[in-house]
Amino acid sequence: MKNRKNAVRIVIVDDHPIVRQGLKKVIEKERDMLVCGEAGTANEAVSVIAREKPDIVVADISLDGEASGLDLVRAITERFPEVSSLVLSMHDESVYAERAIRAGARGYITKNDGPSNIVHALQSVLKGEIYLSGTMSARLISKLFHGNQSETPRSIVETLTDRELEIFQLIGNGFSTGEIARRLNLSPHTIETHRKNIKDKLGLSSGSELNKQAIQWVLSSR
């Protein structure tokens, strides 16, 4: 590890080691930034944060285990208020950015963004700013002033928890219960429980209706 005494200390949380490795390489090209720790789950991340005392945590939304990246952001906000969070995700920011900010994150960036965007996001967060794309910022400002004008497919699913929304999106992308369970490292029974809760919240009576609604919602989010 390079000796950078006054460098910004960063912890990376992602359940894919190759992603963590790539992020570390990008971040440590900056002379004033140092990756001081890594974690693959939310629970592991809490231990690393307590030990390493970073300035910023870069966390993926989709993590193995019961706790999601948004659960981790909330835990950081409550237990480590001096630590800033930046959410990095494969999901479209129109789906999750607002939830991330409400959870306490200081910014949201997608994995499709280039390395320079990641560095810029980190620099913005360090300045005390909230980092979002111009499009997302405009959308949130519009919502603040005008609210939801109608119950669109996007606003309907706002009743779902973060984990339920994640599962709903995976259903819409064609994943089966077993595939979702393996992807999230949860049991099929847990996924079925989430499916039932989603159906109840959305007023759906069958699994086929849930699948159809999820597909329509995913298509409308693109």
Taking only the tens place, the pLDDT of each residue in 8-29 is 999 999 999 999 999 999 999 9
| Residues ≥6 apart with Cβ < 8 Å to 131 | 86, 106, 107, 108, 109, 120, 121, 124, 125
> Percentage of residues in the chain with pLDDT exceeding 90?
58
Q: What is the pLDDT of residues 89-147, one digit of tens each?
A: 877 666 788 889 989 999 998 888 888 899 999 999 999 999 987 667 766 666 666 55
Q: What's the pTM?
A: 0.74
- For the cut 60, the answer to whether the pLDDT of residue 88 exceeds it is yes
Q: Which residues pair with 35 in a beta bridge?
A: 10
- For the cut 90, the answer to whether the pLDDT of residue 171 exceeds it is yes
What CATH number belongs to 8-141?
3.40.50.2300
The rounded distance, in Å, linking the Cα atoms of 36 and 201 is 42
Q: What is the pLDDT of residues 45-62, one digit of tens each?
A: 999 999 999 999 999 988
In the chain, domain spans: 8-141, 153-221
Q: What would the mean pLDDT of 197-215 be, rounded to a whole number?
A: 93
Domain 153-221 matching CATH 3.40.50.12280: the answer reads: no
Distances (CA, A) of 69 to 64, 72, 150, 162: 9, 5, 29, 9
Residue 66 burial by CB count (10 A; 0-12/13-18/19+): exposed, middle or buried?
A: middle
